[in-house]
Amino acid sequence: MLLETFCDCGFADHGLSWGLRFLGYEGVEVINPEGGKEDAEEEAQRGRWKKEERDSYWKMMQKYIGADVTSLVTLPVVIFEPMTMLQKMAELMEYSYLLDQADESQDPYMRLVYATSWAISVYYAYQRTWKPFNPILGETYEMVNHGGVSFLAEQVSHHPPMSAGHAENEHFTYDVTSKLKTKFLGNSVDVYPVGRTRVVLKRDGVMLDLVPPPTKVNNLIFGRTWVDSPGEMVMTNLTTGDKAVLYFQPCGWFGAGRYEIDGYVYNAAEEPKVLMTGKWNESMSYQPCDLEGEPLPGTELKEVFRVADVPKDDKYQYTYFAHKINSFSTVPRKLLASDSRLRPDRYALEKGDLSKAGFEKSRLEEMQRAEKRTREADGQPFKPRWFDLTDEVVPTPWGDLEVYRYSSRYSQHRAVDGSQDAASENEDVETTEFNPWQFGLSSSD
């Protein structure tokens, strides 16, 4: 949801609109990189906010400027998409074949080319500006039937909001502990990925560590909302010391630099070996280079990854894979009742019933508070079912992180309850009642 026409930002009186037409830039995509309140009223009205809702929300949100609003604010369902953060984590698996290629490659630098392209591939999905639902504590998301990959994520903490995920196929394992940190800036919000992502390539046991760039969501209330991720992405081979460092260009006026990524794969001596360039909304390419970072003579730029075709005019800008994530075609047999697909607020929003979605969202949030009161009254601390809190605390560029580890309990559960193969079409899993609660609610609640 970008600013697709240039804004009446008060500059027309100074001749900007006329000047752009004169210079041959009529219809150019104009983006205000500051994302300020001065964006056009017309553009604001074309967004998702009604004027009276927007003005009221703006007054309420001003007190949070400078704060981490990850879990402080109750947001209206009109700005949500019918997906949870746990499902959004699974979108990183769309181009998992790139990790398969990394595992199969015998070239240590090409391994990083493939693996880094995989990490970049999800940014096309991340440009969506609809907000996913915050998972309920204990909520899960499971996915099978995609390239041999099985995926599981669980909400392991409510305050602060933290999720843990695990994916695996014959070529790799993927483990992540995610704790987002935000800073509300009025009409924009900075999102810092306080997390740890580890990928192990099974053939040689190579371990990769990923540090993504921060993200900025611009024009939250005034103007057209759009997303930018300026900064460095670093993928390190912890086994060899090689690494890839890619720079996401910040978006400037008129969209200059938007989507562009450039960088290098370095050996352990920090010498450039492969240059990488492209746009995260289109494709990535690579070329061997010399110690000065210049392309080697006789080589050519080769494409390693290209964004797949997407549905046209999709309401939520979903890819085909995003729809697959939301469907029941990717559920394992005997789907956990805590699965995100079963959430009544998410399902109501998917069906276009905003009134019911808002009601169910409030009901689930109150049930979450009630279960917390029950647990605390009984002196029962919450414990994730499928992940364990380790003693490991790792530093990140945005703060320390407690690390969760995938537990073998899930594999044991599946071994008892049935195959991880996709559920049969005859199984009516959609009628399962959503239930992430580990402790029953007291009768007084």
pLDDT at 26: 30
* Average pLDDT estimate for 117-143: 92
* Tally of CA atoms within 13 A in the half-sphere of 303 that contains its CB: 7
Predicted TM-score (pTM) of the model is 0.82
Instruction: Count other Cβ atoms within 10 Å, centred on residue 14.
Output: 9
pLDDT at 83: 96
The domain locations on the chain are: 21-227+310-347+385-417
Q: Which residue has the higher pLDDT, 189 or 347?
A: 347
Whether residue 46 has pLDDT greater than 60 = no
pLDDT at 416: 79
Q: How far apart are CA 5 and CA 134, in angstroms?
A: 32
* Average pLDDT estimate for 287-316: 96
State the angle between helix axes of 108-121 and 97-104 in degrees (0 to 180), rounded to the nearest 10.
170
pLDDT at 258: 81
Is residue 407 very low, low, confident or very high in pLDDT (cuts 50, 70, 90)?
very high
pLDDT at 7: 33
pLDDT at 6: 26
pLDDT at 178: 93
Residues comprising the chain, all counted: 445
pLDDT at 203: 96
pLDDT at 349: 95
* Average pLDDT estimate for 57-62: 59
What are the pLDDT digits (tens) for 217-263?
877 766 677 788 888 999 999 999 999 999 998 887 656 678 899 99
Lowest mean pLDDT among 75-84, 196-205, 307-316, 369-378: 75-84
Is residue 13 very low, low, confident or very high in pLDDT (cuts 50, 70, 90)?
very low
Q: Which residue has the higher pLDDT, 201 or 71?
A: 201
Q: How far apart are CA 69 and CA 53, in angstroms?
A: 19
Sign of CA dihedral 118, 119, 124, 126: positive
Q: What rounded mean pLDDT belongs to the chain?
A: 82
Whether residue 444 has pLDDT greater than 60 = no
pLDDT at 415: 84
pLDDT at 36: 41
